[in-house]
A and B are shown apart, each in its own frame.
Chain A
Amino acid sequence: DTGVSQDPRHKITKRGQNVTFRCDPISEHNRLYWYRQTLGQGPEFLTYFQNEAQLEKSRLLSDRFSAERPKGSFSTLEIQRTEQGDSAMYLCASSLMTAEAFFGQGTRLTVV
């Protein structure tokens, strides 16, 4: 068990481009969470999966954002038509209904 893995660790993209991030949770964990963290702030919830079902989405998740978790395993977070305001750290976490979430190292997105 290598913990929660996120790829890439860093991404620089031009405004208007699409980007996709991947999260591989701890293998037996059925719950997966995405958070966004901007400089000087705590992480803010974006969306949550239980197995393959997306059960909750934050208002922060505009129409340009989409997340999937096919087959209840890894998850992807896609941002279309990126804007400078999307620059942030995107964190993934997973859990096994134990009230304890384990976080990955995050993907740092910079939109130029």
Chain B
Amino acid sequence: AQSVTQPDIHITVSEGASLELRCNYSYGATPYLFWYVQSPGQGLQLLLKYFSGDTLVQGIKGFEAEFKRSQSSFNLRKPSVHWSDAAEYFCAVPTNFGNEKLTFGTGTRLTIIP
């Protein structure tokens, strides 16, 4: 079965510093991959997605992610974080081929310190 692992439960980063959130997946074929962000008490917003092609994908809010097939990873990066980036971040893969039902990781909570 498809699965997603986010090894880091909580990460603290200083404002202005760079960020990398890890995501490893298990998937039977070439995966679609997603990163979502969730602010406290809110729903999920899509940051970026990988379907095919260029393995470095750009998303909203200055985020990017790189698909590495050899490492089964899809890590999220941002060169310089802002206090407003504090949130929960979820990596996801489709559970089945043919619809948009998703399997999510357990999330990484990002704290930004001044």
Contacts and interface: CB of A to CB of B under 8 A. Distances in A.
Contact of B46 (A6, A97, A102): A102
Interface stretch (B13-21, B70-78, B101-109): B101-109
Interface stretch (B37-45, B55-63, B79-87): B37-45
A99 B44 contact: no
A99 B90 CA distance: 17
A104 B95 contact: no
A105 B43 contact: yes
A22 B57 CA distance: 34
A53 B34 CA distance: 26
Contacts of A106: 41-43
A50 B92 CA distance: 21
A60 to B, nearest CB: 13
Find the residue from A93, A99, A102, A105 having the highest chain B CB count within 10 A: A99
A106 B32 CA distance: 24
Interface string A51-86: 000011000000000000000000000000000000
Contacts of A108: 41
A21 interface: no
A101 B102 contact: yes
Chain A interface size band reads 20 to 34
Given A42-B107, A45-B95, A103 B44 contact: yes
A112 B91 CA distance: 32
Interface string A7-45: 000000000000000000000000101000000111111
B44 A43 contact: yes
Given A45-B95, A105-B42, A95 B106 contact: no
Interface of B: 4, 32, 34, 36, 41-46, 49, 51, 90, 92, 94-95, 99-107
Interface of A: 4, 6, 31, 33, 40-45, 48, 50, 55-56, 91, 93, 95, 97-106, 108
Given A43-B102, A99-B49, A103-B44, 4 more contacts: A95-B100, A99-B32, A103-B45, A104-B43
List of 5 A-B pairs having minimum Cβ-Cβ separation, nearest first: A42-B104, A103-B44, A95-B100, A105-B43, A101-B100
